Amino acid sequence: MTALSSSPSTHPSIPPIVVGIGPDEIESALAFAADEAVRVGCGLHLVHAVHVVPSGPETVLLTAVDVEAWGRELLTLAVKRADDLVDGAVPVTHELRRGTPVQVLVEAGRTARMVVLEHRHLSRLNRIVNRTVAGGVAAHLRVPVVAVPSGWTRPAGTPVVVAGVDVPDRSAEVLSAAAAEARARGADLRVVHSWALPVHHDGFVVEDAEHRRWTDRSRAEVRAALDALGDEAVAIEADVVVHPGRAIEAILEASQGAQLLVIGRHDPLVPVGSHIGPVARAVLREATCPVLLASPRSHRAAYRASV
């Protein structure tokens, strides 16, 4: 890949927020990233990937030079919008790179505070044959990756940050990131966890007492995971939502109207790191609020310190 402009210049102690600029809607991602950059006091760096060899019937007659010129035009418009959003509070830098969006953003995001992308909701058929750029980038980066749905605007009222928890005693990174984000935004923290009965219960009607027992047990496990963070205020004040059912539906329901949803992903440096996991992938497709894929454990302390 070839960088076609200068690298970002930001304060050395706070890495920039990288925003992926594509040919589709970018307004929601830019607004989210600009707010984040101003709040944290870091630079905003816009990156657009140019395919040297165009693909698809709509671009088959374009040359590489045409595609590059088109990319520069898109990037120029995005920079103007970003400048308006930050209003001089933080620096806005940009670059055009040759390569696929995932390759370019993975390279640009290695030293970023986070990578922010806009996500379009696709038809059911397109969801089957497409994987999001956000998922591809997150599968190869340790920094947080945020996918912002097209058309999203910050909700009114008391802000809420939601943490989607799978296995409570293995969710320290998600809970830590969500607690830090809630504190930084002055938001309420809501932790959602779903439970399922063991396989041998399938097909049997669950009595009320059994239902309560499993719900209480799951809630206690989540509370124990919150206590393990060592932050008494977070452990006490967090709203813990626990109920039976599939994790995807529980997370999507609990995050309606949220300012941010924080979920986990697979570590990119282990054998399963070629994908982010089925729950994360499904939530990225369907969520109606920004989704932060929490950074893996080795960056937990550094990420918390930077919020």
List CB contacts of 48: < 8 A, sequence separation 6 or more.
20, 21, 22, 71, 74, 75, 78, 94, 95, 96, 97
**Distance from C-alpha of 119 to C-alpha of 200, rounded to nearest angstrom:** 39
Largest CA distance in the chain: 69
pLDDT tens for the chain, 307 residues: list them.
Answer: 444 444 444 455 789 999 999 888 899 999 999 999 999 999 999 999 987 654 555 555 556 678 888 889 999 999 999 999 999 999 999 999 999 999 999 999 999 999 999 987 654 444 433 457 888 898 888 899 999 999 999 998 899 999 999 889 889 999 999 999 999 999 999 999 998 765 555 555 556 787 788 889 999 999 999 999 988 778 889 999 998 888 899 999 999 999 999 999 866 555 544 467 888 888 988 899 999 999 765 444 434 444 5
Q: What is the pLDDT of residue 208?
A: 72
DSSP assignment of 230-291 equals T-HHHHHH-EEEEEES-HHHHHHHHTTT-SEEEE----TTSGGGGS--HHHHHHHHH-SS-E
Sorted by where each begins, the domain ranges of the chain are: 17-119, 160-306
Domains 17-119 and 160-306 equal at CATH topology level? yes
Q: What is the pLDDT of residue 8?
A: 44
Q: What is the pLDDT of residue 9?
A: 44
CA dihedral 145, 94, 131, 69 (to 10 degrees): 180
Q: What is the pLDDT of residue 125?
A: 40
Looking at the domain 160-306, which fold is it? Answer: Rossmann fold (3.40.50)
Q: What is the pLDDT of residue 6?
A: 41
Give the predicted TM-score (pTM) of the model.
0.83
Q: What is the pLDDT of residue 268?
A: 58
Q: Is 3.40.50.620 the CATH classification of the domain at 17-119?
A: yes
